Structure 1
Amino acid sequence: MLISVQFLRALAAWLVVGHHFMQLFFNFEVHNALEYLFVEKGGAGVDVFFVISGLVIFLATADKALTPWRFMLMRVARIAPAYWFYTLLLALLTLAVPSMFPDVQLALGHVLLSMLFIPAQHPAGYGVYPLLDVGWTLNFEMLFYCLFAVALWVRGDYRLWVVAVLLYLVCYLIGPALDLADGFYRNDIVLEFLMGIVIGMLYRRGLCRARAWVPLLGIVVACVMFYHGADVPRALEWGVPSAILVISCVALEPYFQGSRVLKLLGDCSYSVYLIHVLVLCAGLWVVKRTGIDPYAMLPVCIVFTAVGAFASYQWLEKSTYRTLKRWFGIEESAVLSRQKY
């Protein structure tokens, strides 16, 4: 397990939390420099996630006798249960307290498509989003998993090229020709998965090692690129600095090793990502009814998100994964080898 990657997972998740806090509570109105960072740059946490995903999936499958079917079972067992749980929880809460989620409209067909990771127009009319709107990133993740599963038929050194070709075909040729998911997949953000695979290949070849000042300089460069931005496609504006940030932190792995706190924060990051919008919506609902200062509600939301994510990881993610692992017959050795990274 790369602790540096765990740290970045946690950082990315909480950046997204800050971004959505500013969206829900202030409609992206900026009052100071910190708010500006969360409003304008907080969304880059998703790009860091995507680069990390490419890195982790490549490393987890390198030199492993893993069939495409077994790989997909492992990914579904790991990702889907928690997402399904919070999607259904949102649906139930919307039925019970609709005023808490005024932008949510329920439609059975849309709920089912959301659960199946199939992009569809939200019934409320604000774009191609699942019921639990942060799940739009998981739709890309599942596409990447499916294409990477196909690439498992070839040797590890060729998987980057196979995935790249498949992404191009699906996202830029077949998808637009068939008007697949209203053009949802025609998004250059998918290139960030490839960046992660490249970093994984470099790491496997021992090329992510350097004197500490080199990756530290890389982190500074990435932060400067994030801050200034540019009028270019997202994969360049946020994807490239995300890749620089990831490879720089991986090069600093010896300085992260042994930190149980960072490992735990990374472990909980997926649940943080899934649960935080529910918590923020509940917090906003309380603010509107009591007149409490939104900034006084922020630490409450942070605590509830952190505690809820910890409980979710311990008793939802881990327990369901172990149960499904037994059902699917996934060998313990295969799981442990995957978790190495």
Structure 2
Amino acid sequence: MLISVQALRALAAWTVVCHHFMQIFFDFKARGPLGQLFIDKGAVGVDIFFVISGLVIFLSTEGKSLPPTRFLLYRLFRIVPAYWLYTLLMALLVVFAQPLLPDQSLDWNHLLLSLLFIPTENPGGYGIYPTLNVGWTLNYEMLFYVLFAWALLFRLEVRLLVVAALLFAVSQAWTGFGWISAFYRSDIVYEFLLGIAIGMLYRRGWIGAGLWLPLLGIGAALLAIYHLSPAPRLLNWGVPSAVLVLSCMALERYVERSRVLKLLGDCSYSVYLMHVLVLSAGGFLAQRYGINPYLMFGVCVLAIGVGSWLSYEWVEKRSYRWLKARVDDEPVENLSRQKY
């Protein structure tokens, strides 16, 4: 994985954290221009995630003879254990610590559908969200994985077209007939294609190293995100997110040795999954005991940072290696020497 992409993934995760801080602590009521910025634009972290996801999946399968079923198993091993853990923790908090999550309610059928990545109306009545609310993005991720698995049956040069055709069929044609949930009709699903396209450009050597041009691209992308509304999402936030990813890749030589940025990127998935739980607890304590919200946010950031590192090391890595070893019939100690 490119360290520049890891750094951007970490930035995207923490941008979403700040967005939800404004929601949980201030009910999306701005406390200054920075707070308003995170309220209005913090959700763009998801768009960056989706572009990076398309890029990573393309690069990780390029040049490999990987059967579709094996690809899907590997992605499930990578995504599911941590997601199930934090979903179940959320369910337990809703049942046994309701004051922490006053707007949440639990329905066992909905919990099961959440664990299976099937979009359905949240029992709290605020939209199609799983038990762990941030998991709505993983429903899109799983759709992308399934469709990309089909594309592995085709040669590398046409995979982008195959995935694009399948995405269009699912999100536009099939949802219109009610075969697939209308949840997938959002144009955000096409942001994965932008990541695949960037991966193709990178493998062909068309993304060269640079400094001023990539920095200009980053500045232009950030200005576009700042001035444009999130609709239409693919055009207004998806394309600038793709420019951010591409520009950061061109800066790889300046960060390629940074262990800190790599670690932050490694932990970003756990940051994304756990942050709402930590912020909810922090918001409850701040309100009950009159603690300054920004001081409590600092405590939450520390807790999320340490917790995500422990989660990455003890949940994500260990579960992935153990499950992969079962499928590959390879000793776990051999996998521990491989790059994760």
What does residue 194 of structure 1 align with?
193
Map Cα deviations across residues 217-275 of structure 1 (whole Å, 9 max, x no partner). Answer: 10111111111114740111110110000000001111111110000000000000000
Map Cα deviations across residues 38-87 of structure 1 (whole Å, 9 max, x no partner). Answer: 11111000000000000000000011010000000000000000000000
Contact 1:152 1:159 in 2 (8 A): yes
What does residue 304 of structure 1 align with?
303
SS where residue 185 of structure 1 aligns? Answer: helix
What does residue 118 of structure 2 align with?
118
Unaligned runs of at least 5 residues, structure 2: none
Change (3 A) 1:331 1:65: farther
Deviates more, 1:292-301 or 1:13-22: 292-301
What does residue 55 of structure 1 align with?
55
Alignment of 1:215-254 (within 5 A): 215-230=214-229, 232-254=231-253
Change (3 A) 1:267 1:89: same
What does residue 16 of structure 1 align with?
16
Q: Percent identity between the aligned chains? A: 58
What does residue 162 of structure 1 align with?
162
Change (3 A) 1:36 1:330: farther
Contact 1:60 1:339 in 2 (8 A): no
What does residue 72 of structure 1 align with?
72
SS where residue 168 of structure 1 aligns? Answer: helix
Q: Which amino acid is 2:295 matched to?
A: A
Q: TM-score under structure 2 normalisation? A: 0.96
Change (3 A) 1:230 1:286: closer
Map Cα deviations across residues 67-108 of structure 1 (whole Å, 9 max, x no partner). Answer: 000000000000000000000011112222111111211111
Contact 1:119 1:128 in 2 (8 A): yes
Map Cα deviations across residues 158-212 of structure 1 (whole Å, 9 max, x no partner). Answer: 100000000000000012211632x100000011100000000000000010432
The count of corresponding residues between Structure 1 and Structure 2 is 338
Q: TM-score under structure 1 normalisation? A: 0.96
Contact 2:321 2:335 in 1 (8 A): no
Q: Which amino acid is 1:192 matched to?
A: E
Q: Which amino acid is 1:78 matched to?
A: R
TM-aligned CA deviation for residue 305 of structure 1: 0.6
Mapped to 1, the partners of 2:133 and 2:170 lie a distance apart of 23
Deviates more, 1:222-231 or 1:320-329: 222-231
Map Cα deviations across residues 90-147 of structure 1 (whole Å, 9 max, x no partner). Answer: 1112222111111211111100000000100001111000000000000000000000
What does residue 278 of structure 1 align with?
277
Mapped to 1, the partners of 2:282 and 2:87 lie a distance apart of 18
Mapped to 1, the partners of 2:217 and 2:101 lie a distance apart of 41
Following TM superposition, the consecutive aligned residue runs of length 4 or more in structure 1 with deviations greater than 2 angstroms are none
Q: Which amino acid is 1:272 matched to?
A: V
Contact 2:12 2:46 in 1 (8 A): yes
Contact 2:207 2:250 in 1 (8 A): yes
Mapped to 2, the partners of 1:335 and 1:247 lie a distance apart of 31
